[in-house]
Amino acid sequence: MGKVATGSEPRAVIPARGYYAVVCGAYDIGTQDSGQYGPSQQFVVEFELHRRKKGGGGTEPARDEKGNTLTICMFVNFYLGSTVKPAKLLKLAEALERRKFTDADIKAGYDLETAIGKSLKLQVVHNAAGKAVVDTVAPLDEDDDEPEPTLDSSYF
């Protein structure tokens, strides 16, 4: 039987807006039921969020009112191509690699471990329950500064 965490303070709700982000974690959570799409292997990808520095000149970690670096997680299915719905992993991989994937790329798959430390832009929105979720991902523009990660990264 697992332990229940008690006494911890609720996390601050991440403000809905655009962020620069660095992949700081990727976690294999195994095969999960995907509802009408059937079972699929799923990963959780964790992003360290950054904002443009005031006055320009790069980015800095986005922080809550206590000074903690903000992170957000996104669930992705471990398949690139899908004729049923747009695959989150394909969109994520293309944003991280800053190119469109060919049919050969899609067939070869994507090693999510290579995403650790790579940067992109993402949009955070609040869902009906008020939780912050990643709505869209996009590659950095050529003139965007690469966010420098400040958190340790992990992959398992």
Q: How far is CA 84 from its chain centroid?
A: 22
- pLDDT for position 33: 78
Write the pLDDT tens digit of every residue in 37-51: 777 778 889 999 999
- pLDDT for position 103: 83
> Residue 3 — very low, low, confident or very high, per pLDDT cuts 50/70/90?
very low
pTM, full prediction: 0.83
The two tokens of residue 141 are: 């523009």
Percent of all residues in the chain with a pLDDT value above 70, rounded to a whole number: 85
Write the pLDDT tens digit of every residue in 96-106: 999 998 888 88
User: Domain spans of the chain?
Assistant: 17-155
**What is the mean predicted confidence (pLDDT) over 105-109?**
81
Q: How far is CA 99 from its chain centroid?
A: 17
**What is the mean predicted confidence (pLDDT) over 71-91?**
68
Cβ atoms of residues 72 and 14 within 8 Å: yes
